[in-house]
Chain A
Amino acid sequence: MSDTPPRPVPVDPRLLEILVCPLTRTALEYDRVHDELISRAAGLAFPIRDGIPIMLADEARRLDDA
């Protein structure tokens, strides 16, 4: 799951305006290469699948696994 290739569906930039980390409520960074939303504070990368950010802690990648 962690090696998902970049998706052809681009993320809607409006999503990046309104989303924060669901656990720490801090800002997210968009990783264009992996198509993930990174929460440094939580140490999690939330995947984006088919243009839909999956903001579920269960499905996020832990950053130290990278």
Chain B
Amino acid sequence: MEPMDTPFDRRAVRHHRDRAAATTADVADILRDAAERLLDRLDDTTRRFTRALDVGGRGIVAPRLRARGIETFATDLSPAMAARAGAPAIAADEEFLPFAPASFDLIVANLSLHWVNDLPGALIQLRLALRPDGLFLASLPALGTLAELRTALTDAEASLTGGAAPRVSPFPDLRDCAGLLQRAGFALPVADGEDITLAYANPFALLRDLRAAGETNAVALRDRRPPPRALFPVALASLPARDGRHPVTLRLAMLTGWSPAPSQKQPAQRGSGQISLTEIFGDGSPPISNK
């Protein structure tokens, strides 16, 4: 397989999530914060949902959906992580989803799709698993997430070895996220950004949390050799500090999209307009001031 087509090593992702199933409670606060921001979107709609799929919710999302009276299935690449969500749960690969068409009216993916190689393909499969007018909600770390760490690691490695390997995942730009939903066939796509800033007194705790969440490096082209011994100490020492603590940004893209249905608002037919835009905006010649 071409590394360019598969930026992420899915076996490593699976391994990281298996390992993290035992430790993810250590980072539950962060996951809960993101999940609650995401599920707040459910309160913005009057729609009632009856059957939901939680994708990679790490035991945080499924209980919250069930508490709202929604029958919820949970899936994860790691069987151990899927089990944390409670039954019914399924171990499945987001790139090869095993769900019959129109199985759900709500799908929620909280911080779980950023290690998928073919994100547009996964989004299409998720849309097909939704009934018409079903809702898809996802939070994804966007570009800017862990930016402080990325810069510190790149600078430290360049100064130590004269080169730098990818050590922080490439995240999508928030501006591309709505387009991504639209290309996957979702109606009324919206992507908005929310920043969560964490402050670490001890920068090593950041690495410990990333590991506890199953978020260590699974970039296929990662440097598999042990990093230079000084790399992490030098990089972490250079993280910017404010009041003795190191701020770390999580820039979340909150995605909302609907499975298309005839009942939704549609754009007017092309050519159905009754007023010429030229009458409103003119024909491109300089405006004439009306006295």
Q: Do A and B bind each other?
A: yes
A23 touches B96 (CB 8 A): yes
Shortest Cβ distance from residue A37 to the other chain B in the assembled complex, whole angstroms: 9
A56 touches B90 (CB 8 A): no
B82 touches A19 (CB 8 A): no
B78-113 Cβ-contact flags toward A at 8 Å (1 or 0) = 010011000111111100111110011000000000
Q: Which of A18, A50, A54 has most chain B Cβ within 10 Å?
A: A18
B13-56 Cβ-contact flags toward A at 8 Å (1 or 0) = 00000000000000000000000000000000000000000000
By a CB distance below 8 angstroms, the chain A residues around B104 are 18
The dominant DSSP class at the A interface is mixed
Complex formed: what's the CA distance from A53 to B74 in Å? 11
Indicate if A15 sits at the interface (CB-CB under 8 A): yes
A20 touches B87 (CB 8 A): no
Complex formed: what's the CA distance from A57 to B73 in Å? 20
Q: Which of A18, A21, A56 contacts B73 (CB 8 A)?
A: A18
Q: Which of B73, B90, B92, B97 has most chain A Cβ within 10 Å?
A: B90
Indicate if A49 sits at the interface (CB-CB under 8 A): yes
Q: Which of A23, A49, A53 has most chain B Cβ within 10 Å?
A: A53
Complex formed: what's the CA distance from A21 to B104 in Å? 17
Given A19-B99, A22-B98: A55 in contact with B87 (beta carbons within 8 A): no
B98 touches A52 (CB 8 A): no
A53 touches B87 (CB 8 A): no
Chain B, Cβ-Cβ closest to A46: B98
B83 touches A55 (CB 8 A): no
Chain B, Cβ-Cβ closest to A28: B98
By a CB distance below 8 angstroms, the chain B residues around A12 are 87-88
Complex formed: what's the CA distance from A56 to B92 in Å? 6
A-B contact pairs, 7 of them (CB 8 A): A18-B104, A20-B98, A51-B88, A51-B89, A52-B89, A52-B91, A55-B92
Given contact pairs A18-B99, A53-B91, enumerate 8 new A-B contacts (beta carbons under 8 Å): A18-B73, A18-B104, A20-B100, A23-B96, A49-B79, A52-B79, A55-B93, A56-B92
